[in-house]
Amino acid sequence: MNQLAVNDLSLVFAFLLVLIAVGISYKEKLQLSKDILYSIFRAVLQLVIVGYVLKYIFQLDNLFLTASMSLFIVFNAAWNAHKRNPNRQKKYWTSLLAIFVSTYVTLGVLVAAGAIKFVPSQIIPISGMIASNSMVAIGLCYRNLASQFRDQRQPVLEKLALGADAKAASLPILRESIKTAMQPTIDSAKTVGLVSLPGMMSGLIFAGVDPVHAIKYQIMVTFMLLSTTSLGAIIAGYTAYRNYFNDRLQLLDM
- Of 180, 151, 155, 181, the C-alpha closest to 169 is 155
pTM of the model: 0.82
Q: How many CB atoms lie within 10 A of CB 82?
A: 20
Domain ranges of the chain: 1-60, 63-244
Distance, in Å, from the CA atom of 76 to the CA atom of 162, rounded to the nearest integer, reads 42
Contact predicate 67/86, CB 8 Å: no
Residue 66 has pLDDT above 60, yes or no: yes
pLDDT band at 196 (very low <50, low <70, confident <90, very high): low
Measured CA to CA in angstroms, residue 57 lies from 107, 126, 131, 161 at distances of 19, 15, 19, 57
CA angle in degrees (0–180, nearest 5) for 231-93-53: 85
With a pLDDT cut of 90, the percent of the chain lying above it is 40
Q: What is the mean pLDDT of residues 178-207?
A: 78
